[in-house]
Amino acid sequence: MKVTGLALVPPPTAADLPKVTPELLASVLARYSRSNDGLQNILGKVDLACPDESIDRILKFVDYGHASIGGLTGGLALALDGISMWLAWKIFEVSQMADGQESSTRYITMEAANLPAPEELGVPGELAARWSDIMARAFAAYHAEYARLDRLGTEQPELIRLPAGAKPAVANRIRKNYALDRARYFIPLATRTNLGLVQSSRMWAATVKHLDSLPQPEARAAAALIRAELLKISPRLLRHSAAEPSYLEQARQELTRSCALGLARLSTAPLADQVWVHVDRSAPSWLAEDQPVPEALRHRANRYGYQGLATRRMRVTFAWNNLAVAELRDLNRHRTGHRYTPLIQAGFYLPPEIPRAGHQALLEEQAALTRELLQRGSGAYVYSLLLGAQTPFEHTTQADKFIYEAELRTGMGAHYRYAEHLGAALREFFTQVPEAKDWVVEGTAEPE
């Protein structure tokens, strides 16, 4: 694992603008909010070459509960190389105001050599060899199915929905993606990936607190590396990033809850799709919402258009009983609202194109290892999961964000399984908000 901070510099066109460090930016804007002197006058009182005295004086507000000052640093960018897919998922889960990208499964090395050592992950020593063997066999299954599906796409091009007149390079890419996106359910969640994330000091401090509170040693190691790197960029505001009792206790309770639920529901059988959608359109009597839903939606030229109050004030919670971890990794990155999953294996998804019988022995051995780790209450159970593990997943947000996500995740180029899940949620949404149906576009997903 390696963490690298990226220091932003102004482009040549900004050469005449004041230049501030992240914490000087925060301190100047904090003073700006408590003064009528104007920005230029405030900057004139700060020695830009030696800003520490001004920064220290102003940032004392943070110690008195003014945490919002930590959000004024602007975006601090970090690259995290060689972290597990589980840790990337967890960072996105707890960094709900971050912008970031994770390496796609289409571009990651899929070999046992791309796994962290079991001791780095907290896998008990007596289970390490067994864990390594199961993970290596999962990679072998991935490669075998990828090769078979790639051949199938060549032999039966109708399966990949190749557009008429597609050029050879396009046809090759669509065929490769068809195979990659169906074989990926064998990929171990422990596989190394890379993550780039941008957020303010305030949000980084909260992220590091979360990671420092988790039982997984990989998370705590990442917290230390992230803190050390950010101390170079924002040394004062990252003082508030150590684990504290509320984070530690909630992490303990969440692990206990996940282990109990995981043991109760652990299965390798495919779990049939269920979707649940709850729409709340209530408003106070003294601030009623009278805009018709079509009026909130009809002015958009595409999914990026601005929606009206009728959908922005409408609350939506949607959940699936069986979201595969492969899809969870991406749907978890929709930042609005609150997302929740116990991250268990209540079933195991394989696409119809992959015969389950030939892999059942592997799946049973993987589930047995998961069961043993769950029985021990070990946080390392997450590293025994493969991307086909099906877990409940719930997201609470507003209707405008839900509509955007549904249109995006069913639109052209979306993964076929995203489209199935979001299409089902969208249809249930329409039963509760039928007037939206003519103005929301459910796409056809593949191919890209």
Predicted confidence at residue 62, as pLDDT, reads: 44
The tens place of each residue's pLDDT in the chain, 448 residues long, gives 999 998 888 888 888 888 777 877 777 777 776 667 777 777 777 766 666 666 666 555 444 445 566 666 678 889 999 999 999 999 999 988 888 888 887 777 788 889 999 999 999 999 999 999 999 999 999 999 999 999 988 888 888 787 777 788 888 888 888 888 899 999 999 999 999 999 988 889 999 999 999 999 999 999 999 999 998 888 877 877 889 999 999 999 999 999 999 999 999 999 999 999 999 999 999 999 999 999 999 999 999 999 999 999 999 999 999 999 999 998 888 878 899 999 999 999 999 999 999 999 999 999 999 999 999 999 999 999 999 999 999 999 999 999 999 999 998 878 889 899 999 999 999 999 999 999 999 887 766 5
Predicted confidence at residue 63, as pLDDT, reads: 46
Q: How many helices (H) and strands (E) does the chain have?
A: 16, 9
- Rounded Cα distance between 137 and 151, Å, is 21
| Single-letter amino acid, residue 84 | S
Helices 85-94, 201-213: axis angle to 10 degrees equals 130
Predicted confidence at residue 64, as pLDDT, reads: 40
Paired strand residues for 84: 192
Predicted confidence at residue 65, as pLDDT, reads: 45
Say if CB 77 and CB 197 are below 8 A apart.
yes
The pair of structure tokens assigned to 240 is 């508030």
Q: pTM value?
A: 0.90
- Rounded Cα distance between 63 and 57, Å, is 11
The contacts of residue 79 (CB under 8 Å, 6+ apart) are 3, 4, 6, 194, 195, 196
Predicted confidence at residue 53, as pLDDT, reads: 66
How many Cβ atoms are within 10 Å of 429's Cβ, its own excluded? 24
Please name the fold of domain 253-349+388-439.
Answer: Gyrase A; domain 2 (3.30.1360)
447: preceding bond cis by omega (within 30 degrees): yes
- Rounded Cα distance between 123 and 380, Å, is 6
State the span(s) of the chain assigned CATH 3.30.1360. 253-349+388-439
